[in-house]
């Protein structure tokens, strides 16, 4: 697979970075929407390669695109309550297991005897349901437009196979309403967006021209490899400097304008748009999907009727400010102190896509200078 080297070429990266330096004449703030992009930026130190002078700079603001992070606490508590019930096989993607609910997480439920399983595809959970007719199999279907088609397929298949013991605990969220919400917020500083490459591979980018027009803001569909990200940033800066506001596709090898039509058709059949609460952000109108009436029987929330959930968010956690791009993770007083990956206060410190986890794991509590000295000392050693 050539992409492993081709899109990680350090020399080409330096060349694009130099070009960004050359064209930047003012201070720009660009948000990458997706948590996968945040991790790649921090892991590869791409933010360190961007201009940061007194008169011209490009600052990356990390967006809310981490599915694990924005899943409401109440839904996590419901998941924990369902998973703890006897006769339930609770299936989830791996990185949901460590996300803290109010009192517990799925690992603890598993340790206490709950049948919690990591699956790699929602269809595996459907097979589990077929093999275990005396059990209730629940799949925790969270995420953005990227994970939605597979989750939609799971209920579609379960319905076709007539499975009565499969259900979906669903909390899907959508990117375009989140972008509108960020741009409408009074303190917004974001001047351009890198759109999430994987989301766009499913949805295309036909939804975005009206947004670009309404908010007069450049939107660039961007991938995840270092060169993808640098190219996305470069194109956004070119637009910002010119004062234009187009939707551009910098991830052409994956994304088309129309997106995956089959997936979109399935999504329209299985889901309907609804208001969604985003953890740390609040309710955003029309920002998510729930099961459409034809698939209501597969709704785990309806099937299990969990009552008496009292959610308590950590008073210290500022995940909401991080997800809105209002602060950088290390600016939170609890970062690296009360809140670490071992004892996370919020989901942003847990998920492999969470911005706080990225900052912690890649050492962004150190100053850039400290890291740089460490490196140069070494090459001299």
Partner 1 sequence: MPEIDKLATPDFSNWSCPLPLADYPTIVMGHGGGGKLGNELVEHLFLPAFRNPALENLGDAAVLSLTGKDGGSGRIAMSTDSFVVQPLFFPGGSIGELAVNGTVNDLAVSGAIPKYLSASFILEEGFPLAQLAAIVESMAAAANTAGVQIVTGDTKVVERGHGDGCYINTAGIGVLRDGINVGPHLAKPGDAILVSGTIGDHGMAIMSVREGLEFESQIRSDCAALNGLIDAVLTAAGPSVHAMRDPTRGGLSSTLNEIANSSNVGVHIDEARVPVLTEVQSACELLGLDPVYVANEGKAVFFVAPEAADLVLATLRDHPLGRNAALIGHVTSQHRGMLVARTIMGSNRVIAPQIGEQLPRIC
Q: Which residues sit at the interface with partner 1, rule CB under 8 A?
A: 1, 4, 8, 10, 13-14, 36, 42-46, 48-49, 67-68, 93-98, 107, 118-120, 124, 142-144, 146-147, 198, 226, 341-342, 351-353, 360-363, 366, 370-375, 377-378, 381
**DSSP character at residue 330:** G
Rank residues 151 and 167 by Cβ distance to partner 1 and give the closer one. Answer: 151
Supply 195's token pair: 């759109």
Supply 176's token pair: 């375009």
Rank residues 94 and 285 by Cβ distance to partner 1 and give the closer one. Answer: 94
Rank residues 315 and 378 by Cβ distance to partner 1 and give the closer one. Answer: 378
Shortest reach from residue 364's CB to partner 1, in Å = 8
Shortest reach from residue 134's CB to partner 1, in Å = 17
Contacts of 24 (CB under 8 A, 6+ apart): 51, 56, 57, 58, 237, 241
Strand order in the sheet with 115-118: 115-118, 88-92, 136-143, 166-173, 282-291, 271-278
Measured CA to CA, the distance from residue 211 to residue 181 in angstroms comes to: 11
Shortest reach from residue 109's CB to partner 1, in Å = 15
Alpha-carbon dihedral sign for residues 79, 39, 254, 65? positive
Rank residues 143 and 204 by Cβ distance to partner 1 and give the closer one. Answer: 143
Shortest reach from residue 232's CB to partner 1, in Å = 15
Measured CA to CA, the distance from residue 21 to residue 353 in angstroms comes to: 28
Rank residues 181 and 229 by Cβ distance to partner 1 and give the closer one. Answer: 229
Neighbours of 284 (CB within 10 A): 21
Shortest reach from residue 335's CB to partner 1, in Å = 14
Supply 358's token pair: 């990225």
């Amino acid at each position: 697979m050539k992409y492993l080297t081709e899109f990680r070429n350090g020399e080409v990266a330096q060349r694009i970075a130099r070009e960004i330096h050359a064209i930047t004449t003012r201070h720009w703030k660009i948000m990458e929407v997706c948590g996968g992009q945040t991790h790649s930026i921090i892991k590869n130190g791409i933010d360190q390669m961007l201009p940061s002078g007194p008169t011209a700079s490009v600052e990356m603001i990390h967006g809310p695109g981490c599915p694990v992070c924005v899943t409401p606490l109440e839904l996590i508590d419901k998941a924990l309550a369902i998973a703890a019930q006897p006769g339930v096989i609770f299936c989830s993607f791996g990185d949901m297991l460590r996300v803290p609910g109010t009192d517990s997480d799925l690992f603890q439920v598993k340790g206490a005897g709950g049948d919690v399983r990591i699956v790699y595809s929602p269809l595996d959970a459907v097979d589990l349901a077929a093999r275990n007719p005396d059990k209730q199999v629940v799949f925790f279907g969270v995420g953005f437009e990227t994970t939605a088609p597979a989750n939609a397929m799971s209920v579609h298949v379960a319905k076709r196979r007539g499975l009565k013991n499969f259900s979906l605990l669903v909390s899907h969220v959508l990117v375009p309403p989140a972008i509108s919400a960020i741009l409408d917020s009074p303190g917004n500083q974001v001047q351009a967006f890198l759109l999430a490459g994987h989301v766009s591979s499913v949805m295309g980018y036909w939804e975005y021209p009206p947004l670009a027009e309404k908010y007069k803001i450049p939107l660039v569909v961007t991938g995840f490899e270092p060169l993808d990200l640098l190219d996305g940033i470069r194109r956004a800066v070119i637009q910002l400097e010119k004062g234009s506001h187009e939707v551009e596709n910098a991830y052409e090898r994956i994304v088309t304008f129309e997106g995956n039509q089959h997936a979109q058709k399935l999504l329209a059949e299985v889901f309907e748009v609804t208001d969604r609460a985003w953890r740390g952000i609040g309710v955003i109108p029309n920002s998510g999907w729930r099961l459409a009436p034809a698939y209501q029987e597969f709704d785990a929330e309806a099937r299990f009727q969990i009552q008496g959930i009292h959610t308590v968010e950590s008073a210290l956690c500022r995940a909401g400010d991080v997800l809105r791009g209002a602060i950088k993770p290390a600016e939170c007083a609890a970062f690296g102190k009360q809140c670490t990956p071992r004892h996370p206060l919020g989901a942003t410190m847990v998920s492999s896509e969470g911005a706080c986890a990225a900052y912690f794991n890649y050492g962004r509590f150190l100053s850039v200078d400290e890291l740089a000295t460490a490196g140069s000392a070494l090459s001299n050693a």
